Amino acid sequence: MKIAISATGDNWQDFTDTRFGRAKGFFIIDTDTAETSYIDNASNLEAAHGAGTSTSQALISKGVEIVITETVGPKAGEVLKSGGVKVFEGAGKVTLKEAYENYKKGLLKEQEL
């Protein structure tokens, strides 16, 4: 399963990005292989409109099933929901490692989409 965290960098020690649609990038953890990767989100960050929905689409097409972030807006939420993606909110501004640990410990709440 692939988990995406809105991120400001591509390393476990980098910080989360508190924005979703206009996040700098996404740190992807593949829990099956334990591999990590990074998606640059610059093209959506730069979008005049519809940043949240196009970011959601990009994550769905990468096969992401879980998103960890601060919060997602109503339209992005609709897209993620239709793609079967679950959102865990309230990640705050912490390192990616901490955000992932907090998620695993069940400290982040699932956002109702």
Partner 1 sequence: MKEIVIMSGKGGTGKTTITAAIGALAKEKAVVADCDVDAANLHLLFSPKNTEAHEFVSGKTAVINYDKCTDCGVCRQKCRFDAIDFINGKYVIDEVACEGCSVCHYLCPEKAIDMRDNTAGKWFISDSRFGSRFVHAKLGIGQENSGKLVGKVKAVAKEIAEKEKIPFIIVDGPPGIGCPVISAFSGATHILIVTEASESGFHDLKRLVELVEYFKVTASCIINKCDLNNEASGRIEKFCNNHNINVINKIKYQKVFYETLQQGKTLVESDDNNIKEKIEEIWNYLKNME
**Binding of residue 19 to partner 1 (CB under 8 A):** yes
Rounded distance between C-alpha atoms, residue 28 and residue 40, angstroms:
11
Instruction: Please give the Cα distance from 14 to 7 (Å, whole number).
Output: 7
Task: Pick the closer one to partner 1 by CB: 29 or 68.
Answer: 68
2 binds partner 1 (CB under 8 A): no
Dmax over Cα atoms in the chain, in whole Å?
Answer: 37
18 binds partner 1 (CB under 8 A): yes
Residue 105 interacting with partner 1 (CB under 8 A): no
N-terminal to C-terminal alpha carbon distance within the chain: 20
The contact set with partner 1 (CB under 8 A) reads 18-22, 45-52, 70-71, 73-74
